[in-house]
Amino acid sequence: ILGIHVNMLSATPKSWDLVKAILVAYIPSLIPPAEYKAFYPFLQKVKMLIAESGYFHLQSTKPDTIGEFPD
């Protein structure tokens, strides 16, 4: 590999983050109200991510259109 071009980086959450998200969804008193407002409602955050990542999804279907050179 001579190089790599990355348009969108993503981070994989830790196992504890997933457990915490599930617990807080059922027991919101586990975290402070300010933090709860920042992360929930979770479904609304996912919908926004999907709506705002259209360009990423468009480019992911055409990976070789820009970087492919003719012989």
pLDDT tens-digit readout, 30-59: 888 887 777 777 778 778 888 888 777 777
54 lies in some domain: yes
55 lies in some domain: yes
Task: Report the 10 Å Cβ neighbour count for 16.
Answer: 8
34 lies in some domain: yes
- Percent of the chain's residues with pLDDT above 70: 68
58 lies in some domain: yes
Dihedrals phi, psi of 36, to nearest 5 degrees? -65, -45
Q: How many domains does the chain have?
A: 1
50 lies in some domain: yes
22 lies in some domain: no
Whole-number average pLDDT of the chain: 74
17 lies in some domain: no
Q: Residue 69: which pLDDT band, with cuts at 50, 70 and 90?
A: low
- Closest listed residue to residue 37, CA positions, set 46, 45, 26: 45
3 lies in some domain: no
* Residue range(s) defining the domain that contains residue 51: 29-65
